[in-house]
Structure 1
Amino acid sequence: MVKRIESSQNQKIKKWKKCHKKKWRDEYGLYLIEGLHLLEEALKVPSRVQAVIYDEHFQKENVNITAEVEEYSVPHQLFQELSQTESPQGVIAVCKMPDQRVDITERGRYLLLDSIQDPGNLGTIIRTADACGLDGIFLGKGCADLYNEKTLRAAQGSHFHLPSAAVDLTDVIKQMKEKSIQVYGTALNGQELSYTPRAVQAFALLMGNEGNGVSEDLLSLTDVNVKIPIYGNAESLNVAVASGILMYWLRGFERE
C-alpha cells in the first residue's frame, strides 16, 4: 500500500533530505538512488531497499515492490526537493548501506583505488569492474564517497553487484601477498603492456589519483608496475579509461 506524505516537515522527508550529505548517510547507514533503472537493480537485492518514494504523477504499474519495502507518494514540488537530478524520473529509493567487507581468496581478482577523487570516475570504474567480473574493490584514503549521487549514477547499479570496502591499502596489499596474489601497480616508469591480454587467474590492480597517480609508498609494495603506451599527443588517459583497459588486459577475453 502506498502511503501519502504531504509536508516537507514530515520526519521521514527531513531524514531523507539529510542523506544528500555524506555525514548523514554514514550516520543513518542510508543513501538515495534515483530513476527506474537503478531501482530495478536495487530490487534484485530487496533487503537493500528500505523505501520507495514516488512523484505523485509517476505511473508505477511496471514496478514490482516486495511487501517488506515501504512505498510513499509525495507532491511534485516535494519530490523535486528530494531529487538531485536535472530531469527527475519520478522515483527515488532509500537504500541501506551493506557491510563494507570484501573477502580475499586465492583466485580472486581485485581493484585497489588510491585517492580517486572524482565521483564520476569512481562510479565508471565500479561499473567497469563489475562488467569485467572482478570480485571486489578496495577504496584507499582520499577516494570519493562510494554513495555520492554522481558515483551512484555513473556506476549504474553496480553497487548492488560488487562488494566494496574503504581500507588501508598497505594492509590489503600485504594480505594479497599472503594469498600469493600478484599486485600490479600503474606508473610512468612501468613496463609497457604487451598486445596479448594476460588472462591472469588472480590479481590485484592498483590505480591512482587523477593528477598524481599511485603514491610512491604503495608502488614500492607492488610486484609489477605497468603503463599503457600513448601513441598520440595526449598527455595521459583518464583514470577510468585506463582502469578499464588494464582490467580487461589482466582478465583476458576468453570465458572460463
Structure 2
Amino acid sequence: MKDRKLLSIELGRLSPEEYRSSPESGIVVVLDNIRSAHNVGSAFRTADAFHADRLILCGITAFPPSAEIHKSALGAEDSVRWEHCPDSLSAVTRLRAEGYTVVAVEQTTASVKLDAFRRDPAARYALVFGNEVDGVSQAVVDAADFSLEIPQYGTKHSLNVSVALGVILWHFRPQDGYDNLAGTADWHKRCPNQKPSIDKG
C-alpha cells in the first residue's frame, strides 16, 4: 500500500498542558463582536491547530463555558488561553502598548493583499477578525497598524470568519515550521514504545 491514513496516536497531539507550556508563537487572535458561538468554537479549534497564544473575545462575542462553543471547538477551549474584553478598541490599544503589531483582517482602501505580505519573524502580531455582518469596526481599523486582505475572485468577496481565520493563521505560521514551538513532528520520540498497525493489504 503506497499510502494510508495516519492513526490518531500517530498525529503527535499535545495535551492541553503541553500546549500551554510550549513556547509562544507570537500570535494573538482578537474576535471583534462575533455573533455566532459556533464561529467562536471554530476559532478556538483553528487557533489550536496553528498554535496561537490566546484568543481575546470582545464585546458580544460568546465565551466559555458554552455548550455551543464546545461543540465546534472539540475541547480546544481547554488548550488555547482566552480572555473576554468588553470593548474591542480597548483590547487592541492595550495590545499595541504591549508591543504587538495590530493587524485588522479587513478589506479597506489601503489594505495589504495577503499574498504580498511576509511576516516579520521578530514581531508579535494581534490579528483582528470582525463581525459576520459589519466586519472589523472602523474604530479598530483606525487603531490598527495596518489592514490585511485575503484576495478573492468570486462574486461574494466574503468569507466566514472561521475560514478567514484558517487562511490567515496558516500564512502567519513560522517559516521554519512549528517543531521548535511544539515538538510535534516526530511521533516516535513521543511514543517510542508504540507501533502503529499497518495494513499490508
TM-score when normalising by structure 1: 0.55
Deviations 1:134-161 (A, max 9, x none): 1111111011243321210100111111
Runs of 4+ in 1 over 4 A off after TM superposition: none
Q: Which has the higher contact order (CA 8 A, sep 6+)?
A: 2
In structure 2, give the amino acid aligned to 1:120: H
Which residue of structure 2 lines up, in the alignment, with residue 177 of structure 1? 96
Work out the CA distance in 2 between the residues paired with 1:221 and 1:205: 12
Take 2:162 and 2:132, find their aligned partners in 1: how far apart are those partners? 9
* Structure 1 contact 183–222 (Cα < 8 Å) conserved: yes
Q: Is the 8 A contact 1:185 1:207 kept in 2?
A: yes
Equivalent residue number for residue 110 of structure 1:
28
Q: Which has the higher strand share?
A: 1
Q: Say yes or no: does 1:119 pair with 2:37.
A: yes
Match of 1:153 among 71, 92, 100: 71
For structure 2, the 5+ residue unaligned runs are 1-12, 18-23, 181-201
Change beyond 3 A, Cα 1:44–1:203: closer
Aligned to 1:98: none
Q: Quick one: percent identity of the two aligned structures?
A: 27
Check whether the contact 1:123–1:155 (CA below 8 A) recurs between aligned residues: yes
RMSD: 2.7
1:59-78 equivalences in 2 (<5 Å)? none
Match of 2:105 among 176, 183, 186: 186
Shift of 1:115: 0.9
- Runs of at least 5 residues in structure 1 that lack an aligned partner in the other structure: 1-40, 46-105
- Against the structure 1 CA distance between its residues 134 and 230, is the aligned structure 2 distance closer, same or farther, given a 3 Å change threshold? same
| Contact 1:187–1:225 under 8 Å retained in 2 | yes
SS at match of 1:251: coil
Structure 2 equivalent of residue 63 of structure 1: none
Quote how far apart the aligned CAs of 1:251 are.
Answer: 2.6
Between Structure 1 and Structure 2, how many residues are aligned?
Answer: 157
The aligned counterpart of 2:154 is 232
- The higher radius of gyration belongs to 1
Contact preservation (8 Å) 1:199, 1:253: no
